[in-house]
Amino acid sequence: MKKTEPNKHTFFCSYSCTASNDVHSISHSGRINVYGPAFVRPMKNLTAISGHNIHLHCPAAGYPLESIVWYKRSGNGGGGGSGSGGGGNRLPQNHRQKSLLNGTLLIEKVDRSSDEDAYRCEVTGTGGGSKATSELFMRVLVAPVISPFSPPPNLREGMRVMLTCSVVEGDSPVLIQFLKDGEPIHEASEAVGSSSSSRPNRIKLEVANEFSATLYIASVTADDSGNYTCIASNMAAVTTYSIVMKVNGRRTSHFSWHSYILNALPICAVPPKWKFAPSDTEAIEGQNVVIDCSASGEPRIWWERAYDKPSMDHRVMGPHSMAAVSGTSVTSAGGPISGHHQSGGHQPTHYFRTLVSNSHMHTLENGSLMIRDVAEEDSGVYLCQANNGVGSGLSKVITLKVHGKWWWLKSFGLL
């Protein structure tokens, strides 16, 4: 049991009880009201991210209280109501603003043009005998937005490639970085993912300004095939955009019966087929987990993980549309896909982001996903994709469920 003592600023006690075991922890807090006049502690200015929700809490004290009301200094958003005392427009004024029972103001999908302003909380005691106010300023930051880009079609060895990442929206300063298969690309790392290079300065990264950067490869090779990601970050958020670039073999200009026969029978002329398709997996916390994903046709195989967002904010795509998407634009999340193991009704929308291999989670040579010391936070929806440039490729969505260490005791009714 934890107790927060009252003082001359709070006028109330708050008690919190916490119970925990190896599986879970839960707590409950209760407030003791202390009779006294209305009072509001000073509020600090805060920062919100455009498009996100935010709660403005009014630190009110005193008892009994008649009302807690929020006011906005300017008239953005319509309405001409004025508040008592400090003036301003009484909230809520639109469908995005909601006043909760505890005096908290909820603003949904924050917008800089209409929501960045000063906000005032006014507390009134019973019968209007006492009043108190406090004010804060809310600053709104805008996350980077990357303009979609794609590699040249039918890319062959020896061709030139220019990938330009442009940030069309977002607060300055913006930092832009390129990755190949999860590793940073620098001009010094001459052949990223390659064993050698025959020409100096074959790979260049040119930054025109803080909102644009171009990755230039003078003469591509098969080793340049891979997953390329542009990362744009500012004070608000980190945004990524990923593409898959495939480099085909070089065409020969001289004729020979040997090369004619080989060219008449193209390599990887058939789309990939599953050898071991991924499937739903359950594991106990602390185990090492391997999720199969292997296909014929020498495809490139990569894994992505889902992050949920409200489907009303974005276009929903069908469960078979991911293979046709060449680029995935995300803000701390990837491209959308809908539905997984749903029998009817509303299907959740998942936004996938490419998994970057690390010591905890990485892709094996055969395409399977290896997770060491799996934890409950690894539970979720995963997507494995296989593509060799022929057909639309393969993709399979699976669910990983991680149980606590004592789950097996519960399943047998021993806990």
76 vs 197, higher pLDDT: 76
Rounded Cα gap, residues 134 and 141, in angstroms: 23
CATH 2.30.130.30 fits 35-141, yes or no: no
Predicted model pTM: 0.49
By C-alpha distance, which of 132, 151, 140, 159 is closest to 65?
132
Average pLDDT, rounded, for the chain: 78
Boundaries of CATH 2.60.40.10 in the chain?
35-141, 145-245, 273-403
By C-alpha distance, which of 276, 44, 248 is closest to 155?
248
Rounded Cα gap, residues 320 and 316, in angstroms: 12
Give the pLDDT confidence of 89-137 residue by residue, as tens digits. 899 888 899 989 888 999 999 999 899 999 999 999 988 789 999 999 9
Rounded Cα gap, residues 145 and 166, in angstroms: 8
371 vs 411, higher pLDDT: 371
Rounded Cα gap, residues 238 and 223, in angstroms: 28
Q: Give me the percent of the chain exceeding a pLDDT of 90.
A: 44
Sign of the CA dihedral running 252, 256, 258, 260: positive
Q: Give me the percent of the chain exceeding a pLDDT of 70.
A: 73
Alpha carbon of 305 to those of 93, 218, 349: distances in Å? 39, 33, 13
- For range 63-85, the mean pLDDT: 70
- Indicate the DSSP class of residue 407: H
3-state secondary structure 95-112: CCEEECCCCCEEECCCCH
Tokens of 404: 């606590």
The pLDDT of residue 288 is 92
Rounded Cα gap, residues 69 and 100, in angstroms: 10
By C-alpha distance, which of 393, 404, 386 is closest to 278?
386
Alpha carbon of 217 to those of 15, 158, 162: distances in Å? 63, 10, 7
- Given a cut of 60, whether residue 344 has pLDDT beyond it is no
Residues 145-245, CATH architecture: Sandwich (2.60)
- Indicate the DSSP class of residue 365: T
Give the pLDDT confidence of 229-246 residue by residue, as tens digits. 999 999 999 999 999 999
Tokens of 170: 């977002």
Give the pLDDT confidence of 241-273 residue by residue, as tens digits. 999 999 987 654 444 444 443 344 344 457 888
End-to-end CA distance of the chain: give it in Å, rounded. Answer: 25
For residue 209, the cross-strand partners are: 212
- For range 135-156, the mean pLDDT: 93
By C-alpha distance, which of 187, 246, 249 is closest to 213?
187
Answer for the pair 326, 244: CB distance below 8 angstroms, yes or no: yes
Exposed, middle or buried: residue 407 (CB in 10 Å: 0-12, 13-18, 19+)? middle
Which residues, including other chains, have CB under 8 Å from residue 101's CB and lie 6 or more apart?
A: none
Q: Which of 109-118, 363-372, 388-397, 405-414 is least confident?
A: 405-414
The pLDDT of residue 8 is 39
Answer for the pair 232, 174: CB distance below 8 angstroms, yes or no: yes
Kind plus residue range of the DSSP H or E element containing 113: helix 112-115
Give the pLDDT confidence of 201-240 residue by residue, as tens digits. 789 999 889 999 999 999 898 889 999 999 999 999 999 9
DSSP string, 286-352: T--EEE--EEESS-EEEEEEEEE--GGGS----TT-GGG-SEEEEESS-EEEE-SS--SS---EEEE
Alpha carbon of 401 to those of 100, 216, 246, 380: distances in Å? 35, 42, 33, 7
Residues 273-403, CATH architecture: Sandwich (2.60)
